C-alpha cells in the first residue's frame, strides 16, 4: 500500500541521521541522500548499500519498480529513474513515511522520532 501524498510524518524531516526500517530497524537511507522531489513522499537518491530489494510492479496500469527492505521484505515504496533530478544518481526513491523511523545522531535507537 501507499500512503497519501503529503501526509507522512517524515516528509519534512531535515535533521541529520539515519532512516531505518520501521519493521526490523535495518538501516536504509542516510539523511544526506534525502531531497525534496515535490512528490509528496520522503525521497532519497541512494540507499545504504545492499539494504534494498527491487521488484517489478505492473499494478495500476503502470510499469514501476517496487522497493522492499532486504532484511525483512517489508514494502517501502518505489524507485524512479531518469527523471532529470539534480542528484548524483538521477534516481528518486519515494518511500512511505509509515515504513521508516528517523534516528538522529546520539538518539537512542529504540526510540522513534
Which segments of the chain have a pLDDT < 70? 1, 83, 108-113
Other CB atoms closer than 10 Å to residue 63's CB: what's the count?
Answer: 8
Give the per-residue pLDDT at 2: 77
Indicate which residues carry an active-site annotation.
94
Q: Angle at Cα 52 formed by Cα 50 and Cα 60, nearest 5°?
A: 155
20-44 per-position pLDDT tens digit = 999 999 999 999 999 999 889 999 9
Amino acid at each position: 500500500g501507499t500512503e497519501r501524498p503529503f501526509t507522512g510524518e517524515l516528509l519534512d524531516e531535515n535533521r541529520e541521521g539515519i532512516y531505518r526500517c520501521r519493521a526490523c530497524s535495518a538501516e536504509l537511507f542516510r539523511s544526506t541522500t534525502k531531497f525534496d522531489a515535490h512528490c509528496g513522499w520522503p525521497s532519497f537518491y541512494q540507499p545504504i548499500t545492499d539494504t534494498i530489494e527491487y521488484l517489478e510492479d505492473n499494478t495500476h496500469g503502470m510499469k514501476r519498480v517496487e522497493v522492499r527492505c532486504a532484511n525483512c521484505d517489508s514494502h517501502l515504496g518505489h524507485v524512479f529513474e531518469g527523471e532529470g533530478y539534480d542528484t548524483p544518481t538521477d534516481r528518486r526513491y519515494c518511500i512511505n513515511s509509515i515504513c521508516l523511523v528517523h534516528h538522529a545522531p546520539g538518539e537512542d535507537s529504540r526510540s522513534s522520532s
